[in-house]
Amino acid sequence: MGTLTDKVAVVTGSGRGIGREIARKLAAEGARVVVNDLDAEPAADTVDTIVAAGGRAVACSGSVTESGFAERVTGTAIDTFGGLDIIVNNAGYTWDTVIQKMTDEQWDTIIDLHLGAPFRILRAAQPYFRANPVDYHRKVVNISSTSGVYGNLGQVNYGAAKAGVIGLTKTLAKEWGRYRVNVNAVAFGFILTRMTEAVASDNSTLEIDGRHIKIGLNPAKAASAASIIPLGRAGTPVEAAGAVYLLCTPDADYINGQCLVVDGGRV
């Protein structure tokens, strides 16, 4: 019996990176997981990994920003596994530049992805939570960033969105306490993913939603970023997932409306 046995979780952006490890960790602790990714293949791969380890999972691929997605992903959890207990709003990517070069499209895209999509998913879940009271605590974990807590050069869109996630979290914690739903956020610092790994070329890009998004850090910048972390290194996706898992457990039943900064002590 795991700490999350019989719970049903939705984890957006869980085909790769941090989200994949969150989904795997929740499943390993007994949760039945709805795995989401923009692309069907990585979502299916995460599901296969969970099932091979003895867990239960189902894929719900597609963009979190597309019309009707919020109702579709929450409906998948309820229709497939008979409930909804945990929501982890993790999906996202960065599209950086300084403010004078940032287009309206860059601003709108990142704000909608990181703030609009979680808002719609949580709005879609509210009627179910209200109509189906339970004698335990349901959990919401919204993924923020140290860019939203402290700001970061070249990330005015991302920083604003992630700061908004914290405001969303604190407000819903007050609105949903009466439903026994704990709403918290985790703000990650330097975690090693495909978006932050050291790459030899400054021209490394990834096609996401038809856009070519720059990924990775040059090795010197990556080393410099790691050097100012008291633990002496970037975090791993497994470690990042552990922080989210903590807030999903019964041990966190009286933690509500908080933002846990997970950055190795950098700030």
Element at 77 (helix H, strand E)? helix 69-81
In the block, residue with structure tokens 């085909």: 15
- Closest to 165 in 3D by CA, of 184, 146, 144: 144
User: What per-residue confidence (pLDDT) applies to 144?
Assistant: 98
Residue 247 and residue 184: Cα distance in Å, rounded? 7
Q: 257: which residues sit within 8 A by CB, 6+ positions away? A: 169, 170, 173, 174, 183, 184
In the block, residue with structure tokens 């909804």: 84
Domain residue ranges of the chain, discontinuous segments joined by +: 8-191+235-262
Residue 172 and residue 231: Cα distance in Å, rounded? 33
The DSSP secondary-structure symbol of 236 reads P
Element at 185 (helix H, strand E)? strand 181-188
Q: Are strands 181-188 and 56-59 parallel, antiparallel or unpaired?
A: unpaired
User: What per-residue confidence (pLDDT) applies to 201?
Assistant: 59
Phi, psi of 187 (to 5 degrees): -105, 110
Residue 88 and residue 67: Cα distance in Å, rounded? 19
User: What per-residue confidence (pLDDT) applies to 203?
Assistant: 63
Cα 94 to Cα 97, 147, 206, 250: the distances in Å are 10, 11, 11, 32
- Closest to 102 in 3D by CA, of 28, 140, 49, 159: 159
User: What per-residue confidence (pLDDT) applies to 207?
Assistant: 75
In angstroms, the first-to-last Cα distance of the chain is: 37
Neighbours of 200 (CB within 10 A): 9
Of the CA atoms within 13 Å of residue 163, those in its CB half-sphere come to 12
Residue 245 and residue 29: Cα distance in Å, rounded? 9
Residue 234 and residue 228: Cα distance in Å, rounded? 10
User: What per-residue confidence (pLDDT) applies to 211?
Assistant: 80
Catalytic residues: 158
> Mean pLDDT in each 10-residue stretch from start to end of the chain (267 residues)?
95 98 98 97 98 98 98 98 98 96 97 98 98 98 97 96 98 98 97 76 71 73 85 96 98 98 93
- Closest to 186 in 3D by CA, of 245, 142, 131, 137: 142
Q: Does domain 8-191+235-262 sit in CATH 3.40.50.720?
A: yes
Token output for 189 = 């610092």
